[in-house]
């Protein structure tokens, strides 16, 4: 572990964290060859790529399986009423699941970039950057991967707005079943500027486009027309579920899912734990999880987000190579910054050239490297 991380964790968890990070470094090692199955925890290999139009998906499989059953996802928590997300300053009184003491959300007026979250469950809550919650005064997305301990006090939650034209009505949020597509997710997770997030919502894709590139299925003009007729508040949800956009997205999702199931069926002793994503000939994105169970919980939302990005990019027919995809499995060597909640999680970002890697490691109830994101930055 880096000394800076140890300092953040504090002396009370020094010994535990030191052991944990040694384990985590091992967990995120990669096999180095797609032809050779990994022979230890966290070793990965790529299956044959699945391509449809300009989207290519490389399934990532592992012979090891971490137990992630202790963790609650945001979708589960909101659907079951175990997690509550509200505008800051909401006066509603809430009780924990056992009817204990009432708790009041954090004081202060409603804020574009901060909500209040209460985890009333008995499980730690996993949040991923780009997960969308709908309602309140504006729809928002989670700003950063993190873990929220169970049964704690109301937590100030950093978010970004993805509905520029509304600031009215409700105070509480519901599950949207949505992760925003990579161009928006990149701005939230890395750029961390509200204006850039808004711009990426209405741009479709922030990836550079050459003059000679074929037009995307969903162009800026299509999105502009949708804003006029179906999404006047510039709501992410309404734009990308509109009649102008959704058919192209759903057609891609259905076909890629069919091919994905066929390619990954019959695995013996291995589990699909993630994917590497390419658009045309460019490997651009990767999400890898600690277990096949956790990947399965996010896969449907992630696939739709990748498809939204694909239809907003030029319809290039070049295909990325397996060798290029393997580069997204290696650990980056570059500037690293970390954040931590002592005894709960460690978050780190590593930047090398125009590629960024974000890792989220849980420290309780057990030491697990939960999620690893790699992105080729578009800005």
**Could you tell me if residue 195 is inside a domain?**
yes
Which pLDDT score is estimated for 80? Answer: 95
CA distance 183 to 306: 10
Instruction: With a cut of 90, say whether residue 364 has pLDDT above it.
Output: no
> pLDDT of 293-338, one tens digit each?
999 999 999 999 999 999 999 999 899 999 999 999 999 999 999 9
Residues 92 and 159 in one domain: yes
Tokens 């502009």 found at: 224
The alpha carbon dihedral of 114, 161, 134, 369 has a sign of: negative
Residues 51 and 111 in one domain: no
Of 175, 190, 156, 78, nearest to 341 by C-alpha is: 156
Q: Which of 89-103, 166-180, 319-333 has the lowest mean pLDDT?
A: 89-103
Residues 15 and 91 in one domain: no
Residues 107 and 156 in one domain: yes
Residues 307 and 332 in one domain: yes
Residues 163 and 41 in one domain: no
> pLDDT of 61-90, one tens digit each?
999 889 999 999 999 999 999 999 999 887
Q: Chain-wide mean pLDDT for the chain? A: 86
Query: Which residue, 204, 235, 257, sits at the end of a domain?
Result: 204
Band of residue 360 on the pLDDT scale cut at 50, 70, 90? very high
Question: What are the residues facing 202 on neighbouring strands?
Answer: none
**Could you tell me if residue 238 is inside a domain?**
no
Residues 78 and 39 in one domain: no
pTM assigned to the model: 0.86
Band of residue 218 on the pLDDT scale cut at 50, 70, 90? very high
CA distance 155 to 274: 30
What percent of the chain clears pLDDT 90, i.e. is strictly above it?
75
Residues 165 and 49 in one domain: no
Instruction: With a cut of 70, say whether residue 11 has pLDDT above it.
Output: no
- For residue 62, what are the domain limits? 3-68+247-376
Number of domains in the chain: 2
**Could you tell me if residue 211 is inside a domain?**
no
Q: What is the mean pLDDT of residues 166-186?
A: 92
What percent of the chain clears pLDDT 70, i.e. is strictly above it?
84
The shares of helix, strand and coil residues in the chain, as percent rounded to the nearest 5, are 30, 30, 40
Residues 21 and 40 in one domain: yes
């Amino acid at each position: 572990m880096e000394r800076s991380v140890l300092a953040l964790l504090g002396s009370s968890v020094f010994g535990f964290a030191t052991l944990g990070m040694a384990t985590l470094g091992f967990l995120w090692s990669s096999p180095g060859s797609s032809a050779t199955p990994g022979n230890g925890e966290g070793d990965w290999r790529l299956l044959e790529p699945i391509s449809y139009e300009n989207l290519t998906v490389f399934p990532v499989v592992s012979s090891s399986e971490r137990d992630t059953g202790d963790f609650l996802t945001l979708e589960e928590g909101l659907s079951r009423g175990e997690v509550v997300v509200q505008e800051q300053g909401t006066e509603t009184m809430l009780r924990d699941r056992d009817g204990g003491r009432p708790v009041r959300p954090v004081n202060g007026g409603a804020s574009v970039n901060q909500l209040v979250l209460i985890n009333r469950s008995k499980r730690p809550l996993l949040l991923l950057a780009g997960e969308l919650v709908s309602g309140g005064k504006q729809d928002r997305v989670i700003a950063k991967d993190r873990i929220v301990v169970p049964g704690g006090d109301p937590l100030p939650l950093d978010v970004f707005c993805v509905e520029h034209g509304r600031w009215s009505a409700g105070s509480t949020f519901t599950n949207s079943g949505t992760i925003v597509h990579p161009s928006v997710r990149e701005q939230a997770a890395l750029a961390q500027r509200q204006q850039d997030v808004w711009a990426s919502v209405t741009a479709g894709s922030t990836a550079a486009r050459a003059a000679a590139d074929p037009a995307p299925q969903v162009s800026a003009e299509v999105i502009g027309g949708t804003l006029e007729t179906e999404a006047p508040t510039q709501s992410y949800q309404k734009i990308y579920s509109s009649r102008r956009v959704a058919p192209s997205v759903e057609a891609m999702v259905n076909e890629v899912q069919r091919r994905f199931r066929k390619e990954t069926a019959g695995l013996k002793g291995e589990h699909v734990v993630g994917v590497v994503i390419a658009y045309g000939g460019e490997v651009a994105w990767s999400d890898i999880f600690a277990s096949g169970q956790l990947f399965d919980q996010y896969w449907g939302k992630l696939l739709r987000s990748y498809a939204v990005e694909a239809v907003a990019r030029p319809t290039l027919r070049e295909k990325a190579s397996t060798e290029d995809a393997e580069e997204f499995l290696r650990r980056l060597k570059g500037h690293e910054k970390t954040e931590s909640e002592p005894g709960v999680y460690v978050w780190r970002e590593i930047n090398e050239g125009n590629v960024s890697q974000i890792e989220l490691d849980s420290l309780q109830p057990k030491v697990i490297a939960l999620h690893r994101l790699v992105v080729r930055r578009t800005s």
